[in-house]
Amino acid sequence: MPKNTKVGDQEVQIDRRRKTDRRETKAKIREEVQEIQPPRRKQPRRRQIDPTTCEREYSDPEIQFMQAIDAYKRSSGRMFPTCSEVLEVIKNLGYVQLTSEKRSVLESIKDVESEMAEALPM
């Protein structure tokens, strides 16, 4: 200390860069963690399960419909099909809209089948 200076008059320089670089320590920590833990495997996506009804048992026609919609989404590349596209998928599954005449014929066939089932002894 020079003779004419007082104790509180000296300039003090603080070098904040004396500490180690934090980026280096983070990289070292990451490397150590990777050595300890095995690499994460990508989980396959659960498809065809509605999260709101995941505990429900689906019927065969429901599963068939979900698979047809999923196949349509994959082939068209559209994740959200329009109503007309859904109707197209339903028609491709073989569903048709019956006229009133066809309905009455179908009901009469069912009536005849139930009468025959009652008449036949088991």
The helix (run of H) or strand (run of E) holding residue 109 is helix 100-119
Query: What does the pLDDT average to over 29-43?
Result: 67
CB atoms within 10 A of CB 90: 15
pTM over 0.75: no
Answer yes or no: is 31 within a domain.
Answer: no
Q: Identify the residue with better confidence: 27 or 68.
A: 68
Is 86 a residue whose pLDDT tops 90?
yes
Answer yes or no: is 49 within a domain.
Answer: no
Answer yes or no: is 35 within a domain.
Answer: no
Answer yes or no: is 72 within a domain.
Answer: yes
Coil, helix or strand at residue 87? helix
Answer yes or no: is 19 within a domain.
Answer: no
> pLDDT band at 51, cuts 50/70/90?
low
Residue with tokens 């980026």: 23
Q: What pLDDT score does 52 carry?
A: 57
Is 55 a residue whose pLDDT tops 70?
no
Which tens digits make up the pLDDT trace of 2-12?
556 566 677 77
Answer yes or no: is 108 within a domain.
Answer: yes
Is 45 a residue whose pLDDT tops 80?
no
Answer yes or no: is 33 within a domain.
Answer: no
Domain count, the chain: 1
First to last CA, the chain: 119
Answer yes or no: is 69 within a domain.
Answer: yes
Range of the domain at 113: 56-119
Is 78 a residue whose pLDDT tops 70?
yes
